[in-house]
A and B are shown apart, each in its own frame.
Chain A
Amino acid sequence: MKKPISKHEYQKMVDKKAPGSHIARNIFAAFITGGIICSIGQVVLMIAENFGADKDTAAAVTSITMIFLGAFLTGINVYDEIAKFGGAGASVPITGFSNSIVSPAMEFKKEGYIMGVGAKMFLIAGPVLVYGIFASVVAGLLYFIWKQVV
């Protein structure tokens, strides 16, 4: 038997041979999926404005509607199929955020409402919330300091 290959050599063998993702196809699918989701959001926004909502109210109505759509499509087992096709195009919009909270809530219902739904609901969205809120605090502080200086 020849001398065993090192971890480094093996990693190189694996990297060289591993099939890569279809980047062009994935980017295209993400563009189409994300584009459709955002277009739906735009239509909701325009309808809300048509009904006489001001800019802030129309934006809130749009967010609420899109979160509902994401939750609904997750509930009827459709959103994961959309994301399987669209990748980041489905997970980056607010509908994807909704999916990331509703899917664990559904999954962990079997473990009860406290230790299941309650404890696991933010399993995926948790880090987004933690660092999202942290980033907004930092941005707020910088804005406050900037205002004092200028």
Chain B
Amino acid sequence: MAKRLGSQTVVFDKQPIILSGAAIVGKKEGDGPLARYFDDVVDDEYAGEKTFEAAESRILKDTFSKALEKSGKAAADINVILAGDLLNQSTAASYAFRDANTPFIGLFGACSTMSESLTIGSMLIDGGSADYAVCAASSHFCSAERQFRFPLEYGSQRTPTAQWTVTGSGAVILGKDGQGPRIVCATPGKIIDQGIKDANNMGAAMAPAACDTITSHLKDLGRSADDYDLILTGDLGSFGSSMLNDLMIKNGIDMKNKHKDCGTLIFDLEKQGVNCGGSGCGCSAAVFSTYIMNQFRQGALKRILFIATGALMSPTRSQQGESIPGVAHAVCIEA
């Protein structure tokens, strides 16, 4: 059984193994620096479907199939699917898996969904509730734009701190046995709201949550940033990342040399016109499931801390004058 350590960290006894990971992304992501790691690039923003919402479900479903294929497992081996997305009622995930004939637990953690699903999946496997689980998340630029911002063809400018919602999804297969990197512990994050109200500055809204979770994680385990090869945040973007590093220094932790962010890895910030970088559940899910898993296979990484960060933003609450709460969940993965 897992053991709780310090204020909020859970150390797993039967460490779940990441058997495989897969990601399918959109065209813009396919033009980015990580293109060669992704399993497929879908040029058509409708992915052959009639609506953007259906396209997102299609991409998520295909990513799941791809991850399953790479793991060598059959769909019948999977005990539970843990997935989520950004859409109202998490419809991208629920429609993607409506024919899966597998127990489904829908998650919402905004862009923190991938590490949220890894945390819960690991707990289920460690506790013996599941032998094999799928952890997945998705987002789609067009479905997110129409829900959170403006119609696609409406002419507007983005502020410099804005981020670009990634079209794509990532999925990993977790198992009780097999070959692959192991999830050794997890630190579920608290909701932290430092009063940021600007929906075009999600990085600033999420950075305090990431700071809180990382600080708690290190404190609970008595570790320093140097104990990790990489501290990978979800989608803080370039501005959120610099805020995180400033906040960490205020906490007496310098992790700048160890830190990278999925939002700045997935796009070329100079050339792709994405301002502060990528965002959306699919951003960290796709980067983690393919690029990072590849780095583990190459032996380039031995131990990382993966912290997907979510801005729990609701257009309704924002219009009512509320600030944006952030949440970040950390999982520690070892080769």
* Residue positions of A touching B, CB distance < 8 A: 1-2, 5, 7-8, 10-11, 13-14, 17-21, 26, 74-75, 77, 79-80, 82-84, 87, 90-91, 96, 99-100, 102-104, 106-108, 110, 123-124
Contact = CB atoms under 8 A, between A and B. Distances in A.
Contact of B153 (A7, A79, A91): A79
B243 interface: yes
Contacts of B194: 5, 7, 10-11
Interface in B22-48: none
B252 A1 contact: yes
Interface in B49-67: 50-51
A103 B196 contact: no
Nearest to B216: A1
B153 A14 contact: no
Contact of B243 (A13, A74, A80): A13
Interface residues of B, number: 30
Q: Is the interface of A mostly helix, strand, loop or mixed?
A: helix
Contacts of B215: 1
Contacts of A103: 150-155
Q: Is the interface of B mostly helix, strand, loop or mixed?
A: loop
Nearest to B273: A84
B219 interface: yes
A79 B250 contact: no
B150 A1 contact: no
Interface stretch (B10-18, B115-123, B157-165, B292-300): B157-165
B197 to A, nearest CB: 9
Q: Which of A5, A11, A14, A110 has the most CB of B within 10 A?
A: A14
B220 to A, nearest CB: 12
Contact of A83 (B157, B161, B242, B251): B157
A87 B157 CA distance: 6
B243 A83 contact: no
5 contacts: A1-B215, A11-B194, A14-B243, A18-B204, A108-B146
Contacts of A83: 154-157
B177 interface: no
Interface string B120-161: 000000000000000000000000001000111111110111
Nearest to A16: B246
Contacts of A19: 160-161, 239
Closest 9 A/B residue pairs (Cβ): A83-B155, A107-B151, A7-B195, A103-B153, A103-B154, A103-B151, A19-B160, A10-B194, A14-B204
A26 B160 CA distance: 12
A99 B204 CA distance: 31
Contacts, number: 93
B264 interface: no
Given A7-B194, A18-B201, A19-B161, A84 B155 contact: yes
A20 B201 CA distance: 12
B181 interface: no
Given A7-B195, A18-B239, A124 B161 contact: no
Contacts of B201: 14, 18
A21 B242 CA distance: 18
B155 A10 contact: no
B160 A18 contact: yes
B277 interface: no
Interface in B169-203: 194-196, 201
Contacts of A7: 194-195
Nearest to A70: B155
A129 to B, nearest CB: 16
B21 interface: no
B154 A99 contact: yes
A6 to B, nearest CB: 9
